[in-house]
Amino acid sequence: MKRLSTAAMSLLSAATTAMAGPGMWVPLFIDDNIDNMVAEGLTLTADQIYDANNSSLKDAVMIFGGGCTGEMVSDRGLILTNYHCGEGAVSSLSSPQTDYMAHGFTARDEADELPCAGLQVRHLVRMEDVSDQVKSLSDTVAVNSVVRNAEEGDKYEAEVEEMFHGNQHILMVYEVFRDVRLVVAPPQALGRFGGETDNWVWPRHTADFTLFRVYAGADNKPADYSPDNKPYRPARHLKTNIAGVREGDFAMVMGFPGSTDQYLTATAIEALRSYVWPSVVSLRQAEMTALEKRMKRDRKTAIDYSAHYSSIANGKKRTAGEIDCTARANTVGVMRAQQARFRQDAQMDSILGKIDDIFSPQYTSNMLTLRLAQDTWSGSRTLRLAYKFAKELDKEKPNFETLDNLATDFFAHSDAKTEQRTLAAALEELRRIGAADLPKEILLTAPAKLSRQVTKGVFGSHGKLQKAMSDPDAKKIILSDPATRLALALIGTRHDKTVANQSASNALHNLKAAYAKRLSQIRPDSLLAPDANFTMRIAYGRVEAPRTGIENIDRHFTTARGILAKNATGNPDFALPDSLKTMLGGGYGRWADADGQLHTCFVGSIHTTGGNSGSPTLNSRGELIGLNFDRIWNGIASDYRFDAERSRNISVDIRYVLFVIDIVCHGGHIVSQFDIVNTPSR
Ligand code: ASP
């Protein structure tokens, strides 16, 4: 493994003793952790995990879509990810006639696999420490030169990412695959089993997976969709281990965690949890309630809005959980006590004091308005579409074909009344919250009236939009439409508030960097992990049952029996067709555990976050034992402070995934493409 040291990194990694537990580690520097990982049970070398010159585990783990992880499970490009990551694609491919959401989908053979327009998979070719060339992301000359060299024309896409908020800069080079096809989707009743009742909680029983295949050109390189493309042959695919997991087993998760914020102060967390998060929750709840009512009315609306609803609901419940978890864990008090010790160091005291000062009432109020503007805009599909139109039409040569396609897709999968009611509910809630400086039309016009204007204008029907687009004055008509005006006003507010907070945010960024640097100096015996930033990471821990809190359950796993018990409660989130109930009742074949039961999910003490959805959970040999998909309520605030006692990640047991593919989806021919092994890892 090629490893270039830098002053910043050597300072940060001067330590030799790593802590087990928290941390999402950069694979390029996994050498720093390897002794500790081996002591915990890992049997791989650092080079087997990450090697830029030879195939390694990192070649099997990819970015799936815009915000998830997926992993290669066969030598013919099969990529496994979560149901909640593939659901958008399944929903776009579904109609009330095919209804792959209700029935699931299984490709009979490769020719039967369904192309997913717009879906991409990114393979990390290599990482490189470029801290010597790039001192700051604002040095665009240095960044562009590093990126240009790495991209080799249009062969790769490259990015420079900062670690420790700018103490270090790492180049990421990706191959971007553009032909991705659906192979298996379980019925939604299993893929979303538990719905919002179970989201973010344990015990859990969700078959949260979908299976796709990546296709490449004849040269095995990324290519646009073509029927002539061939299944991608990855440099590495994972072996799938069906021997089962035991409490205490070493386990690790490799993937692309999106974002964490571990270098904040207690005062900052207190400001967020009291002033920002509660309103974020109430706005999202208002949108959800309106959507739920509409989705109950007919199947088409339920299909069309399923992924949109889930993403709003997921974010809302997480934030509500963070409020609750930080209260129950006394996160602010615990952090204050810990930071009081750090503050005995004069330099650290000054850094932390300055971070506290950033979170002034003005700064937090700007943050709240920014967040509400963003969430109101993103909660309305009409406003999102209108903004895309505005951006395209603003170009010198707008691409009308792109706009046509966007419009066709939108009107095929949306419903005017649902759009109107959801927006009205959001606008109503915004008025109730009364945040400062929201666009004036929101404060001056009655919510029902404004939402009607927005949804009855040119974005109210495909016919109206087509008519507007074919008008010689198309740009003027569309830009002056109420939907476009509101979308631009909300985006404008987001922008203004970002600018208003800019100098404080820049200062905060530098202070976090200083915090991390000083921490490594005053605690030279502990290794620090950088915050997550949607770059590849590896986190490790154990298969481990929750010990405290509401999930104080002495078992690390759940079984199909629990599915049937939940179903018997009558809660619609646990509804199952009779045929599925029968299948889950027995006859598990080779997918059963030694105890005869079908194990469905398990928990571990591994530090994960959003973006890790779909990440492989691996055993000590780097074999696939599960699919990471969630965290538990008791430790849900781990983005701010990972608490080894409380924080747990949840994975679907890989045997449950294979059972569903094999028995429920009649996909024996697909199971046989997995590389299955059956030897216990210890
Ligand atoms: N289920 C989570 C999400 O979708 C994954 C996590 O944050 O642990 O965001």
> What per-residue confidence (pLDDT) applies to 549?
60
Q: What's the gap in Å between 589 CA and the centre of ligand 1?
A: 31
**Model confidence at 560: pLDDT above 80:** yes
Same domain, 329 and 240: no
Hey, which of 208, 629, 651 would you mutate to test ligand 1's pocket, going by the most ligand atoms within 8 Å of its Cβ? 629
Q: Are residues 578 and 663 in the same domain?
A: yes
Mutate-to-test residue for ligand 1 from 81, 613, 642, highest number of ligand atoms within 8 A of CB: 613
User: From the CA of 315, how far away is ligand 1's center (Å)?
Assistant: 9
**Residues 6+ away with beta carbon under 8 Å from 550:** 633, 634
pLDDT of residue 645: 86
Residue 33 has pLDDT above 70, yes or no: yes
Q: Which of 474, 503, 532 is the last residue of a domain?
A: 503
Is the beta carbon of 631 within 6 A of some atom in ligand 1?
yes
Residue 13: per-residue pLDDT: 37
Point out the ligand 1 atom lying closest to the alpha carbon of residue 200.
1
Q: How high is the mean pLDDT of the chain?
A: 94
> How far, in Å, is the centroid of ligand 1 from the Cα of 454?
32
Same domain? For 496 and 353 the reply is yes
Cβ–ligand 1 contact at 630 (below 6 Å)? yes
Q: What is the pLDDT of residue 546?
A: 87
Q: Write out pLDDT tens, residues 221-252.
A: 999 999 999 999 999 999 999 999 999 999 99
Please indicate whether residue 608, judged by its CB atom, sits closer than 6 Å to ligand 1: yes
Q: Which of 485, 503, 521 is the last residue of a domain?
A: 503
Identify the residue whose tokens are 């099969």: 78
CB 252 within 8 Å of CB 606: yes
Q: Map tokens 């994960």 to a residue.
A: 608
Q: H helices of 50-174, where?
A: 83-93, 100-103, 140-151
Q: Please, which residues have CB within 8 angstroms of residue 449's CB and are 6 or more apart in sequence?
A: none
The residues pairing with 63 across neighbouring beta strands, listed in sequence order, are 69, 122
Examine the pLDDT at 631 and tell me if it is beyond 80.
yes
Task: Please say whether the beta carbons of 494 and 465 come within 8 A.
Answer: no
Percentage of residues in the chain with pLDDT exceeding 70? 96
Same domain, 50 and 104: yes
Count CB atoms within 10 A of the CB of residue 217. Answer: 15
Are both 193 and 328 inside the same structural domain?
Answer: no
Pocket test for ligand 1, best of 81, 199, 534, 612 (most atoms within 8 A of CB): 612
Residues 487, 559 within the same domain: no
| 69 Cβ inside 6 Å of ligand 1 | no
Task: Tell me the residue type at 60.
Answer: A
Integer angstrom CA distances of residue 243 from 273, 555, 594, 598, 599: 43, 18, 9, 12, 11
Give yes or no for residue 6 having a pLDDT over 70: no
Kindly indicate the confidence band of residue 109, based on its pLDDT and cuts at 50, 70 and 90.
very high
Give the dihedral sign, CA 73/76/77/78: negative
Are 232 and 180 in contact by the 8 Å Cβ rule? The answer is no
Residue 379 lies in a domain: yes
Residues 239 and 291 in one domain: no
For residue 315, give the ligand 1 atom closest to its CA.
9
Q: Closest ligand 1 atom, CA of 650?
A: 8
**396 domain-assigned:** yes
For residue 531, report the distance from its CA to the centre of ligand 1, in Å: 16
Q: How many C-alpha atoms does 623 have within 13 Å on its Cβ side? A: 24
Q: Residue 630 — φ and ψ, nearest 5°?
A: -165, 180
Q: What atom in ligand 1 is closest to the CA of residue 613?
A: 5
The pair of structure tokens assigned to 58 is: 């990192």
Tell me: the pLDDT tens digits for 384-420? 999 999 999 999 999 999 999 999 999 999 999 999 9
Q: What is the C-alpha separation between 542 and 649, in angstroms, rounded?
A: 10
Question: Looking at residue 9, what is its pLDDT?
Answer: 37
Task: Give the CA distances from residue 254 to residues 287, 377, 559, in Å, rounded to whole numbers and listed in that order.
Answer: 34, 33, 25
- Report whether pLDDT(552) > 60: no
Assign residue 623 the CATH number of its domain: 2.40.10.120
Whose CA is closest to 619, among 664, 564, 678, 672? 678
Contact 73, 675 (CB under 8 A): yes
Q: What are the CA-CA distances from residue 215 to residues 179, 192, 658 (Å)?
A: 5, 27, 22
pLDDT at 12 over 50: no
Q: How far apart are CA 223 and CA 216, in angstroms?
A: 6
User: CA-to-CA distance for 169 and 9, rounded, in angstroms?
Assistant: 10
Between 9-13, 351-355, 616-620, the lowest mean confidence (pLDDT) is in 9-13
pLDDT for 550 equals 61
220 in any annotated domain: yes
Of 424, 320, 412, the closest CA to residue 380 belongs to 424
pLDDT range class, residue 183, cuts 50, 70, 90: very high
Separation between Cα atoms, residue 12 and residue 26, nearest integer Å: 13
Beta strands in 82-241 (DSSP E): 105-106, 114-115, 121-129, 157-163, 168-177, 179-185, 210-216, 230-231, 240-241
Q: Looking at the annotation, which residues are catalytic?
A: 84, 208, 613
Cβ–Cβ < 8 Å for 623, 681: yes
Q: Is the confidence at residue 5, as pLDDT, over 90?
A: no
- The answer, as to whether pTM is greater than 0.95, is no
Average pLDDT over residues 529-550: 91
Dist. CA 611–CA 82, nearest whole Å:
11
* Ligand 1 contacts CB of residue 629 (under 6 A): yes
Longest dimension (CA), the chain: 71
609 lines ligand 1 (CB under 6 A): yes
Phi then psi for 614, rounded to 5 degrees?
Answer: 90, -5
The DSSP bridge pattern shows strands 240-241 and 676-677 to be parallel
Which of the 8 DSSP states describes residue 165? G
Q: How many domains does the chain have?
A: 2
Residue from 538, 608, 541 nearest 26 by CA: 538
- pLDDT (0 to 100) of residue 548: 67
Please report the pLDDT score of residue 385 as a whole number: 98
pLDDT in tens, 571-623: 999 999 999 999 999 999 999 999 999 999 999 999 999 999 999 999 999 99
Question: Cα 460 from chain centroid?
Answer: 31
Report yes or no on 63 lying in a domain: yes
Please say whether the beta carbons of 183 and 139 come within 8 A: no
Q: Are the CB atoms for 399 and 392 separated by under 8 Å?
A: yes
Using the atom order of ligand 1, give the atom closest to the CA of residue 649.
8
Are 309 and 429 within one domain?
Answer: yes
Whether residue 568 is contained in a domain is answered as yes
Domain that holds residue 475: 266-503
Q: Is residue 60 in a domain?
A: yes
Q: What is the predicted pLDDT for the residue at 462?
A: 97
Instruction: Using DSSP bridges, classify how beta strands 168-177 and 240-241 pair: parallel, antiparallel or unpaired.
Output: unpaired
SS3 578: helix
681 band by pLDDT with thresholds 50, 70 and 90: confident
314 lines ligand 1 (CB under 6 A): yes
Cα-only R_g, the chain: 25
Residue 48 in domain? yes
525 pLDDT tier (thresholds 50, 70, 90): confident
Candidates 192, 317, 318, 606: which one to mutate for ligand 1, based on the most atoms within 8 Å of Cβ? 318
Beta bridge partners of 642: none
Say whether both 385 and 423 belong to one domain.
yes
> Are 66 and 109 in a shared domain?
yes
Task: Tell me, yes or no, whether 110 and 228 share the same domain.
Answer: yes
Q: Is the pLDDT of residue 551 over 60?
A: no
pLDDT at 8: 35
Instruction: Tell me the three state secondary structure of residue 522.
Output: helix
pLDDT in tens, 161-177: 999 999 999 999 999 99
In a domain, 152, yes or no: no
Q: Whose CA is nearest to atom 3 of ligand 1?
A: 610
Q: Please state the length of the chain.
A: 682
Give yes or no for residue 206 CB within 6 A of ligand 1. no
Q: Which of 523, 546, 532, 516 is nearest to 613 (CA)?
A: 532
Q: Are residues 581 and 612 in the same domain?
A: yes
Of 503, 523, 550, which residue sits at a domain end? 503
What are 56-105's pLDDT values in tens digits? Answer: 999 999 999 999 999 999 999 999 999 999 999 999 999 889 999 999 99
Predicted confidence band of residue 682 (pLDDT cuts 50, 70, 90): confident
Selection from 611, 610, 601 nearest residue 651 by Cα: 601
Locate tokens 């481990």: which residue? 544
Ligand 1 atom 7: residue of nearest CA: 610
